[in-house]
Amino acid sequence: MARDERGVTAQSEDFAAWYNEVVFKAGLVDRGPAKGTMVIRPYGYRLWELLQSELDRRIKDTGHENAYFPLLIPESYLGREAEHVEGFSPELAVVTHVGGKVLEEPLVVRPTSETIIGEMMAKWISSHRDLPLLLNQWANVVRWELRPRMFLRTTEFLWQEGHTAHVDEASARRETMLALDIYHEVARELAAIPVVPGEKTPGERFAGAVATYTIEGMMRDGRALQSGTSHYMGIKFASAFDIRFTSETGREELCHTTSWGMSTRMIGGIVMTHGDDKGLVFPPRLAPHQVVIVPITRGGNVAVEGAADELAHRLRSVGVRTHVDARPHLTPGFKYNEWEMRGVPVRLELGPRDLEDGTVMMVKRLGDDGKQAVPIDSLPEAMPGVLDDFQAFLLARATAFRDGHARTVDNWTDFADAVSTGWALALHCGIAACEEEIKSLTAATPRCVPLGGEPETGVCVRCGAASAYGKRVIFGRAY
């Protein structure tokens, strides 16, 4: 395959190969020894930590408390909610032995924690005064993957899972939408992914949910990535786990519950939303290094090295995550290529000449600005704005890409054409067999019924039956 000088396959040639090369080459991830597992390397983990701290703050600011529930769940728990066990059974990893002895009851490694948290909620909740109970946990989960892809589908991944219990449907549904709003904001404002929030069609719902909401991002190959989901469970899990409360009027009632999760999958979403043929492009708000300074010292130049360190210090003092690449055995050119491939938003090149002039060469990872000589002393004040502009640029670029690859279609030919390169917004009958037929013909599935969609009715784009949902559905091939 053709590769550019940095050895990455072009996106246009083979997007999947590009993705696989770039996540490994950029040092985000490595393969674990057990099938489908991944090692999140420091550069990838730092991105996750930055996303995590922003998401965690929003979760706490809206009244949720973090807790931690056991990894190992008695196998019988899963079976208490019929749809739930049916959905997860094929993916369960099961512990049958401990210390060389067979367990009486096997334990599953949590694929998600509705069951064990439901069991504990039943114990903790007795009065309406205990509600709402707003919990969140940061945890690893295991779902066996036959066709793993780093960050997108791995046997183990990291996530947060919110679990809440409420006195009634209205309160639980408000919570479901609140979580979706948080995900929307995090994806859009931090990851610069212009996701579309919407509701899943029945066939795409979480196993055991009454309603599932999602944020869907468009990747640069036109496919959709489900980037966070929020579920209203009704009283299904409350019935299965006996989560009851005594109401203000003294009646015993079942709680309405929700759950919602965002995972390390977001890292893959960031890679596929912003990356290009040179490699990664990180949005500044989540970039481990927002700025990399490359001192051009050709065999050691104390003044240049000192100036680079001082500039880094000044940038850090205004909150800019700055890295000085002082590795003596590598050329500046090698470093430029490497940090471009690793997606650093802004590179500063500082040589002896620049230092004499009191300037530094600034190069942004994307955009038409080219190299610019910038006064060193202006940078501490200017850099936060440069990064904000770059963040806004990425969001605008991704939005333009998304809008350029999403078409409103009213006939099958246009539909098939649209989903071959992006999304189709179409009316659909909502019938499962018709969804299946569309999938088998085009590989496209209903991604969501967008919350912002205008009311519209008519006939199904495929079968001509009366449309469902009262508005258009987004169809696309999905990760």
Least separation, in Å, of the C-beta of 44 and a second copy? 8
C-alpha span between 198 and 310 (Å, rounded) = 48
Identity of the residue, 34 or 373, whose beta carbon is nearer to a second copy in the bound complex:
34
Least separation, in Å, of the C-beta of 92 and a second copy? 6
C-alpha span between 465 and 428 (Å, rounded) = 8
Range 439-464 burial, b when 16+ CB lie within 10 A, else e: eeebebbbbbbbeebeeeeeebbbee
Least separation, in Å, of the C-beta of 454 and a second copy? 42
Least separation, in Å, of the C-beta of 159 and a second copy? 12
DSSP 404-466: HTEEE--SHHHHHHHHHHSEEEE-----HHHHHHHHHHHS-EEEEEETTPPB---B-TTT-SB
Identity of the residue, 66 or 372, whose beta carbon is nearer to a second copy in the bound complex:
66
Least separation, in Å, of the C-beta of 63 and a second copy? 11
Query: Burial of 360 by CB count in 10 Å (0-12 exposed, 13-18 middle, 19+ buried)?
Result: buried
Least separation, in Å, of the C-beta of 457 and a second copy? 41
- Name which of 26, 38, 62, 7 is nearest 145 in CA terms: 38
Identity of the residue, 249 or 413, whose beta carbon is nearer to a second copy in the bound complex:
249
Q: Which long-range contacts (CB under 8 A, 24 or more apart) does 203-206 make?
A: 203/432, 203/435, 203/446, 204/445, 204/446, 204/447, 205/231, 206/87, 206/231, 206/259
Instruction: Check if the beta carbon of residue 73 is closer than 8 Å to that of residue 107.
Output: yes
Identity of the residue, 25 or 407, whose beta carbon is nearer to a second copy in the bound complex:
25
Identity of the residue, 39 or 318, whose beta carbon is nearer to a second copy in the bound complex:
39
Least separation, in Å, of the C-beta of 387 and a second copy? 22
List of residues contacting a second copy (CB under 8 A): 30, 32-34, 37-42, 45-46, 48-49, 65-74, 77, 89-100, 106-107, 109, 116, 119-120, 123-124, 129, 135, 139-140, 142, 144, 155-156, 158, 327, 329
Identity of the residue, 70 or 333, whose beta carbon is nearer to a second copy in the bound complex:
70
Instruction: Check if the beta carbon of residue 111 is closer than 8 Å to that of residue 139.
Output: no
Identity of the residue, 69 or 393, whose beta carbon is nearer to a second copy in the bound complex:
69
Q: Which residues contact 156 (CB under 8 A, 6 or more apart)?
A: 32, 36, 37, 38, 140, 141, 142
Identity of the residue, 44 or 446, whose beta carbon is nearer to a second copy in the bound complex:
44
Least separation, in Å, of the C-beta of 45 and a second copy? 5
- Our CA angle for 206, 64, 282, nearest 5°, is 70
Rg of the chain in Å (alpha carbons): 25
Least separation, in Å, of the C-beta of 48 and a second copy? 8
Identity of the residue, 141 or 406, whose beta carbon is nearer to a second copy in the bound complex:
141
